[in-house]
Amino acid sequence: MEFEIFKGKSFKDLCRDIYGNQLHRKEQIEQLINDLRKMCTKIDDAPLIIPFIKDYINAANVNDEHLIRLAAIIQKLIVAEEEVKASGGMGLSEEERRNIMIELESITKSDNTVVNVIEKK
């Protein structure tokens, strides 16, 4: 079964995106450092550029973390849906629904925090 998260994006696609992000991260960071290295003309430039690299890496890690957490939530929904279809079960319990909502709110708050930090720079 291909679980569609939203139009044109399946759970399988989300997992592929997470995996692809991890594979390409090293190349992206190396390219960023090489590009920034060309801008460094004197030793005093390094303290200005290093925080930029750190913020880029942190933002990319948070993005991947959010995708992984979202995938975990979607996986719980898929399992619950399959259980209902297979055995006529009740699906998610109230506690499971509450935990999912807490997790989604946590992702949203975390995302807003990252945006605020980046905008302040």
Domain boundaries, the chain: 9-120
- Structure tokens of 44? 């005093």
Neighbouring-strand partners of residue 10: 4
| Beta pairing class for 4-6 and 9-10 | antiparallel
**For residue 111, what pLDDT is reported?**
63
Six-digit token pair at 67?
A: 């995708």
Tokens of 78: 């898929």
Which pLDDT score is estimated for 1?
53
**Residue 62 to residues 11, 39, 52, 107, Cα–Cα distance (Å):** 20, 27, 15, 10
Identify the segments of the chain with pLDDT beneath 50. Answer: 115, 117-118, 121
Q: Which pLDDT value is given to residue 113?
A: 54
- How confident is the model at residue 121, as a pLDDT? 47
Q: Are 28 and 35 in contact (CB under 8 A)?
A: no
Residue 118 has a pLDDT of 46
Is 10 in contact with 4 (CB distance < 8 Å)? yes
Length of the chain, in residues: 121
Find tokens 């890690």 and name the residue. 61
- Quick one: which of 106, 95, 96 has its CA closest to 70? 106
Provide the pLDDT for residue 22.
82
